[in-house]
Amino acid sequence: MQTRLELILGDITKAEVDGIVNPTDLILSGGGSLAGLDKQIHNAGGKEVDLACEEIVELQGGCQTGEAVITTAGNLSAKYIIHTVGPIWIGGEIREPELLASCYRECLRLAVEHGIESIAFPAISTGNYGYPIEKAAPVALTTVKEFVEHARHSESKAPGLIQFFLFEKETYTCYVKVLSDLGFRLSCFLE
């Protein structure tokens, strides 16, 4: 089975997929004082998502940078939300690219583990965490491409549809350019 990769300019809370990825903080707080995408996703998912995150924090203390956890999606059309903690950009010298790549790999690993056939990613860490889009996009797209290629070669699974929901035109344009630089079209199959 091939994996289709799509770039979409739009709101990830409206994605028609099995799972969406939520860029969160260490305690899965739903954004707290930062009114970003984490807060939007929690608001759209409702109380059920908040309770599921609180339970994870109680059981394991939250989620570390570069890791991911999974919950119900509550009121969203998706079945699951995969919460991941991206790195805060501090100039690229403190393992930020490695930690960002880990976010994407861990989300895809959880997706496969839970039978998620379609997943939507945002541009992790590029909002309030300050990761420059032009540096984050190659990490994101290359990591996803490598995950799918590894799955094909090892005869393991990968989601059949991977979407990137990019909220701002500047971010979308950057991802389109990076995808083109990797030799792929706007909507393509990863081999």
Known catalytic residues? 38
19 near 106, Cβ under 8 Å? no
DSSP secondary-structure letter at 125?
T
CA–CA separation, 133 and 150 (whole Å): 25
CA–CA separation, 33 and 93 (whole Å): 27
DSSP SS3 for 121: strand
81 near 70, Cβ under 8 Å? yes
CA–CA separation, 104 and 28 (whole Å): 17
16 near 173, Cβ under 8 Å? no
Dump the DSSP string for 14-51.
G--SSEEEEE--TT--S-TT--SHHHHHHHHH-HHHHH
Q: Any residues with CB less than 8 A from the CB of 13 and at least 6 apart, and which?
A: 20, 40, 41, 44, 76
